[in-house]
A and B are shown apart, each in its own frame.
Chain A
Amino acid sequence: MATRHIISIGDFDRSGIDSLLDHARQIDNKNYDKNALSGKILAVLFFEPSTRTRMSFESAIARLGGTSLSVGSVDACSIAKGETLADTIRVVSGYADAIVIRHPKEGAARLAAEFATVPVINAGDGAGQHPSQTLLDLYTIRQSMPIDKIDVALVGDLRYGRTAHSLASALSLYNARLHTISPTGLELPDTLVNELVDKGMEIVNHDSIEEMIGLVDVLYVTRIQRERFPDSASYFNVASSYRITPELLSDAKEHLIVLHPLPRVDEIDPRVDESPHARYFEQSRNGVPVRMAMLMDVMQ
């Protein structure tokens, strides 16, 4: 049987996503075998910093009875000596039953899948794909509403934000309508827009959050990175106009949920945390059952 990898959300069709999310819900309801992956080893290869993704994968394998292996940092591994990723992957395939990889280069996970003899899960490759984040985003939406035909707003850095790209692609399978709002120069890439439109998705661009807040069911906020701007003053100027506050949410639909892949900086006022709309910490917690379902999918 061919080795199963999870590299891109584009590798899934709608029924594949739905069945994985159903499985995650079962796990969330404590309806799973706690020794399902007993004796299995997960290699956690992170060549970039991560808190949530890394810890939730480690938590996921531990809750299924398996263990994880990792190198302390990139500086401490053979990559620092000039070893290719291909060689690292061949070697690590001999030590573990699956590999979770985060790497700064786009396409790194797909390369890893070519050289690995065990399943590979992409935990983020540069500005490319981050399928486990998308799956947990969808899971969090589905906890509050059916995903079909909803209105979803993407806010922030939509050019470089890989989570926004993957989520937009996945939502096109659910006939969602997309609303976008982003600073000039940080709009969704044209190639992605064309691809989504080709799939029949309706995309509406807005000039301000105020004009669309009453229209949407999900507000997906992403971080605007300071380094995209020439100086601090222009960053703060732009960032403040994209800040989500309780006052802004007073015009929202009652069932609106606010999501953020985290970490946040200034995008969401901490006062929103107490609002019934806030779901971002729950979203982060959902990383564990969703990643447990992913591990069981590829390792069993």
Chain B
Amino acid sequence: MTHAGTTDENERLLIRRIKNGTVIDHIDGGEALNVVKILGITGATQEALSIATNVPSRDMVRKDIVKLTNRELSKEEVDRIALISPHATINIIRNFKVCEKKGVEIPTLIKGIVRCPNPGCISNTNEPIDSKFRVLSKGLCCYYCDWVITKDLTSYII
């Protein structure tokens, strides 16, 4: 048995196949919980969720995997993942078969996902708006106050 075969076997042991839903693969090692957070999945939502972290991988040193049963992610949701794990791949599963496979694309604007770290920003008040950030090469720039988040993005996820 090849090393690759062993890895696949390990994955199967870690997470059962799903009949319908989404498998998010090749998440950067250790980022699975942030992926779940950025998708807005909490204990209060209905999805059956499986997470494997730090799985040995052929392409990456370590990777995480998230499986969501009975939920197909939209493109907008998928692209949010790119902010924290740009190499992730998305597999849409129907009746145990991979029906769609796609990568993630970094969006140009993200809404309502990240809180502006600037306490003086109007988006941190009771105004009827979602936070909005332009995605730049240097980081995320608040649409309202121009504050730039260059690191620790996950700590600002709403």
Which of A8, A84, A104, A111 has the most chain B CB atoms closer than 10 A to its own CB?
A111
Given contacts A107-B142, A110-B144, whether A85 and B120 have CB atoms under 8 Å apart is: no
Give the complex CA separation of A48 and B126 in angstroms. 19
Contact between A111 and B138 (Cβ–Cβ < 8 Å)? no
Given contacts A106-B120, A126-B120, whether A84 and B142 have CB atoms under 8 Å apart is: no
One of A10, A84, A107 near B123 (C-beta < 8 A): A107
One of A84, A86, A110, A127 near B143 (C-beta < 8 A): A110
Chain B residues with CB under 8 A of A114: 129
Given contacts A110-B144, A128-B146, A191-B148, whether A105 and B125 have CB atoms under 8 Å apart is: yes
Chain B residues with CB under 8 A of A10: 146
B42 to chain A, nearest CB (A): 27
Given contacts A126-B120, A127-B120, whether A107 and B144 have CB atoms under 8 Å apart is: yes
Give the complex CA separation of A8 and B143 in angstroms. 12
- Tell me if A194 is interfacial: C-beta within 8 Å of chain B: yes
B31 to chain A, nearest CB (A): 25
- Tell me if B118 is interfacial: C-beta within 8 Å of chain A: yes
- State the total of A-B contacts with C-beta under 8 angstroms: 55
Contact between B129 and A105 (Cβ–Cβ < 8 Å)? no
A187 to chain B, nearest CB (A): 17
One of A8, A107, A127, A194 near B122 (C-beta < 8 A): A107
Contact between A86 and B145 (Cβ–Cβ < 8 Å)? no
Q: Chain B residues in contact with chain A, CB under 8 A?
A: 118, 120-123, 125-129, 138, 142-148, 150
The A150-194 residues at the B interface (CB cut-off 8 A) are 191, 194
Name the CB-closest residue of B to A8.
B146
B131 to chain A, nearest CB (A): 10
Q: List 14 A-B contacts (CB under 8 A).
A: A85-B127, A86-B127, A86-B129, A105-B125, A106-B121, A106-B145, A106-B146, A106-B147, A108-B122, A110-B144, A111-B123, A111-B129, A126-B145, A191-B150
Chain B interface SS verdict (over half): loop
One of A84, A85, A104, A128 near B145 (C-beta < 8 A): A128
Name the CB-closest residue of A to B128.
A86
Contact between A194 and B138 (Cβ–Cβ < 8 Å)? yes
Give the complex CA separation of A107 and B141 in angstroms. 12
Q: Chain A residues in contact with chain B, CB under 8 A?
A: 8, 10, 84-86, 103-108, 110-111, 114, 125-129, 191, 194
Name the CB-closest residue of A to B129.
A111
Chain A residues with CB under 8 A of B123: 107, 111
Give the complex CA separation of A103 and B120 in angstroms. 11
List 14 additional contacts besides A107-B122, A108-B144, A111-B123; criterion CB under 8 Å. Answer: A84-B127, A85-B122, A86-B129, A105-B120, A105-B125, A106-B121, A106-B145, A107-B143, A107-B146, A111-B129, A114-B129, A128-B145, A129-B146, A191-B148
Give the complex CA separation of A202 and B47 in angstroms. 54
Contact between A105 and B121 (Cβ–Cβ < 8 Å)? yes
B13 to chain A, nearest CB (A): 47
Which of B126, B129, B144, B148 has the most chain A CB atoms closer than 10 A to its own CB?
B144
Contact between A107 and B128 (Cβ–Cβ < 8 Å)? no
Give the complex CA separation of A194 and B148 in angstroms. 11
Give the complex CA separation of A125 and B125 in angstroms. 14
Give the complex CA separation of A106 and B125 in angstroms. 11
Name the CB-closest residue of B to A87.
B128
Chain B residues with CB under 8 A of A194: 138
Which of B123, B127, B150 has the most chain A CB atoms closer than 10 A to its own CB?
B127
A197 to chain B, nearest CB (A): 12
Give the complex CA separation of A49 and B122 in angstroms. 18
Chain A residues with CB under 8 A of B145: 106-107, 125-126, 128
Contact between A107 and B121 (Cβ–Cβ < 8 Å)? yes
Chain B residues with CB under 8 A of A110: 122, 143-144
